[in-house]
Structure 1
């Protein structure tokens, strides 16, 4: 018997593969990678990196909210960027969505992301300590 619960919201893009938006086990929520899709159109919001980064955090926020948490409950964040020259921009955008204490984080340069996205983020959130 598993204590695993699937988290799903229409306020974030639907999964584009065989995975859940998030899975909760105990008080830990594992959030799948979010790319900058508009949840209503399932299209990339813009060609602009900064706009894409903002949408990624909006999507993560929507999934966090559905799991009874918020971005502030994220303890580990993994970022994937197709161009590490955007590192400073993603830091600036993160400061719009997070306040100290910031989550632990990795930023990884990758060759390509789904649907031609420039950025993706996945996270681990702990709620209700």
Structure 2
């Protein structure tokens, strides 16, 4: 994969690449919510706890599909309150570790399907080489 964090003439970024070039088998991960294995909300009212749960769920889905954080192409963020962005960025940094920063988008939404959920994140990745 080729990550282009800030091509010439592009504005600065904060934790994402403006573009990513990837090849291989595509892994599409549905939007993940801050839910435990029983579907119960984790971290009611705590955006950092919710973000950490969402990223844990993303990691499990990526692993199940034969991928991992280092093979992410894009993350899509849906937040009910943009004031939570700092907490989400903290959890994203923990999740990515030393992996290259994927392309990203962020949308504020009025609500999510899980009552009390403050964010949902979906992902696009490629599979690890076999």
**TM-score when scaled to structure 1?**
0.75
Report deviation, 1:42. 1.2
Aligned length: 103
Whole-Å separation in 2 of the counterparts to 1:56 and 1:100 = 18
User: Structure 1 regions of 5+ residues with no counterpart?
Assistant: 1-25
Moved over 2 A (4+): none
**1:110 equivalent in structure 2:** 109
1:79 and 2:74 are equivalent in the alignment = no
CA contact (8 A) 2:80 2:110 kept: yes
**1:127 equivalent in structure 2:** 127
Higher relative contact order (CA 8 A, sep 6+): 2
User: Structure 2 regions of 5+ residues with no counterpart?
Assistant: 1-23
**TM-score when scaled to structure 2?**
0.75
1:4-26 Cα distance to aligned partner (Å, 9 max, x none) = xxxxxxxxxxxxxxxxxxxxxx6
